[in-house]
Amino acid sequence: MVAKDTLALIGNTPLVRLAGPSEAAGCDIFAKCEFANPGASVKDRAALFIVEDAEAKGLIQPGGTIVEGTAGNTGIGLALVANAKGYKTIIVMPETQSREKMDTLRALGAELVLVPAAAYSNPGHFVHTSRRIAEETPNAIWANQFDNIANRKAHIQGTAEEIWAQMDGRIDGFTCAAGTGGTLAGVGLGLKEKDERVTIALSDPHGAALYEYYANGELKAEGSSVAEGIGQGRITANLEGAPIDAQYRIADEEGLEWVRRLMAEEGLCLGLSSGINVAGAVRLGRDLGPGKRVVTLLCDTGFRYLSTLYNAAWLRAKGLPVFPWLDDA
């Protein structure tokens, strides 16, 4: 099959059975390969839906500018969608994110604005900075991925439908972590529409407030995580009404152990949010029991983290275990 253009390459990603996680869980664990999108992450889906929603509403004119605050992947998705459609992009990113994501944005021709990491309550936070730049730039829109529900629609209409079809309608559980929450809420809502018995679970990193919220009704964060793109402190518009049945709190070490094993044993080069998702899927699979079928997501490619997760000096500086094969490099 020949795709009619670059944008037609977004979505319809392959689903793979993961041998190690399935063995560890005692049931079948499957993962959606979102690194196979043209921008190498799940966020291409949201980027396309956000831009096409703005076009349908007449909010953006030819030659206009798309402005967004992002950990990087949404910016990469928006930049490639913008290039394919004739728009410009201004991307605001915390300077703590990986070098590879910054270089990729520059390569795509996005204007990159780096800001210091700050609390959401701080006006200098990357989200607020991007909104201000959008307001001050002529013929510009603010993508607003956290509270623009065109984001989760990409997963209700795309990701969830694809998972249902690829699993032949036989699926017992789904889990993933949340950044904007678009993936978790969108896939959750989409799968529940097909079969309300599918268990939807949050896999939350340390430093995020959602685990406590779904467990006890209180937004409360503890600890921290080096995972990029996930870890939310509030109920975004995309998370509102998300059908969450269970929640797991996953430490970086547990997620990183799956990143290491999936690389060494299955040849998959992944980022830490994918490792945390797989750790959550193993826990959900154990809770659901033998014979069950659990799906999660591999959010982006590990090639985006060669200077961090796959760098011995960086891992050591963070106090994280170093993959044994990296020591000799």
Clarify whether 194 is annotated catalytic. Answer: no
Q: How far is the CB of 138 from ligand PMP (least distance, A)?
A: 28
Q: Which residue, judged by CB position, is nearest to ligand PMP in the bound state?
A: 229
Helix or strand (DSSP H, E) at 200: strand 199-205
Is the Cβ of residue 54 or residue 184 nearer to ligand PMP in the bound state? 184
∠ CA 48-50-56, rounded to 5°: 100
Is the Cβ of residue 26 or residue 219 nearer to ligand PMP in the bound state? 219
Is the Cβ of residue 127 or residue 246 nearer to ligand PMP in the bound state? 127
8 Å CB contact between 171 and 34: no
SS3 label, residue 287: helix
C-alpha distance from residue 320 to each of 40, 225, 315 (Å): 25, 11, 5
Is the Cβ of residue 73 or residue 296 nearer to ligand PMP in the bound state? 73
Q: Which residues contact 23 (CB under 8 A, 6 or more apart)?
A: none
Tokens of 132: 């201000």
Rounded to a whole number of angstroms, the distance between the first and last alpha carbons of the chain is: 41
Q: Which residues bind ligand PMP (CB under 6 A)?
A: 41-43, 71, 73, 177-184, 228-230, 271, 273, 299-300
As beta bridge partners, residue 140 has: 65
Q: How far is the CB of 45 from ligand PMP (least distance, A)?
A: 9
**CA–CA distance, 222 with 226 (Å, rounded to integer):** 14
Q: Say which of 32, 43, 101, 192 is annotated catalytic.
A: 43
As beta bridge partners, residue 202 has: 176, 247
Q: How far is the CB of 324 from ligand PMP (least distance, A)?
A: 25
Q: How far is the CB of 156 from ligand PMP (least distance, A)?
A: 12
Q: Supply the residues annotated as catalytic.
A: 43
